[in-house]
Amino acid sequence: MDSKITNPIIAALLEPLPSLAQGQNDLSDESVVRLLVRHFIDYSLAAFQGALHKARTDDDAVEAINRQAIALNAVFLGTSGISSVTTHAWNSPEQLGAFLKDTVGLEYPEDDCVRAMLIHLATQLMHSLRLPDEDRNEEVEALTLDAADLLLGRAPQDDDEIDIDINL
């Protein structure tokens, strides 16, 4: 593992993926991107559940989610320093950051747009906890697909509507 990575959980998640991309985790590979998004979603849901059951404070849950989002921001913008991650010209603030800023309507600097989009995603996940289990599972799956599409440079295909609503 590289010493530049700020989040060992993200680095560890990227280590066991050689079967997906022959030792490299290519950020143009949809399965790699979905795995990272799904990890963030599962981590966020666990943090929210921990806060609901008083296993951690609300502030601790929010800070833990933000740390994950910061680490993924570095991964997707190509600044994480993880040698097993293959980035492309797309993985830059000028490309991905600008795309997210324009597509999702974020009012953050381009070098912080992945983090901002993920925090908005986490907010929607928190709201999904109020839904019945079946509806929640559908919502989580839709959010996973939409977030992965955005990180791959595709506007979500759900009737050209982006489910990651930043106006909560």
CB distance 72 to 36 below 8 Å: yes
- Give me the percent of the chain exceeding a pLDDT of 90: 65
Model confidence at 7: pLDDT above 60: yes
- pTM beyond 0.75: the answer is yes
Model confidence at 20: pLDDT above 90: no
CB distance 87 to 93 below 8 Å: no
Residue closest to 164 by CA, chosen among 115, 111, 122: 122
pLDDT in tens, 109-137: 999 999 999 999 999 999 888 889 889 99
Amino acid at 58: D
Q: What is the mean pLDDT of residues 10-22?
A: 55
Lowest mean pLDDT among 54-58, 95-99, 153-157: 153-157
Mean of pLDDT over the chain? 84
Angle (CA) 91-97-160 rounded to 5° is 105
In the chain, DSSP finds a helix count (H) and a strand count (E) of: 7, 2
For 65, half-sphere exposure in the C-beta direction (CA atoms, 13 angstrom radius) is 30
> What backbone phi and psi angles, to 5 degrees, belong to 86?
-95, 120
Contacts of 60 (CB under 8 A, 6+ apart): 47, 50, 51
Residue closest to 39 by CA, chosen among 5, 16, 6, 18: 16
Helix (H, G, I), strand (E, B) or coil at 126: helix
pLDDT in tens, 43-92: 999 999 899 899 999 999 999 999 999 999 999 999 998 888 899 999 99
